[in-house]
Amino acid sequence: MPNWKKLIVSGSDAALSSLNVTNAVTASYFKGDGSALTGIDAGGFGYSNPISMSADTSTTAGNYTSIYGPMQINSGVTFTVAATSLVKVETF
């Protein structure tokens, strides 16, 4: 019995039940809420973040980041804001 492989042609509308990737995945956009993602270090930003930043962190280009403070950036730690991203710091 032959062992058939599926071939996906660029520009086609493929439907897959699973996809294993050994390198980076890039796209013009990603769909979904990300609730099932694992193994991602978000740097503690979003609706809940630490009181102090203890490791170098960068924003993602083209994204909006909210930091709720006060927030202390520890000595020797760098917080890099990508040229096309926005950061909003709200102090309580």
The domain segmentation of the chain, as residue ranges, is 52-91
Q: Own/partner pairs for 14-21, CB < 8 Å, 24+ apart?
A: none
Structure confidence by residue, pLDDT tens digits, 16-73: 777 788 888 777 777 777 777 777 665 554 456 667 888 898 888 888 888 877 788 8
Cβ neighbours of 38 (radius 10 Å): 4
**pTM of this prediction?**
0.42
Instruction: Dump the DSSP string for 8-34.
Output: PPTT-----S----SS----S---S--
Contact 51, 73 (CB under 8 A): no
The winner for highest mean pLDDT among 2-11, 17-26, 42-51, 82-91 is 82-91
Cβ neighbours of 59 (radius 10 Å): 20
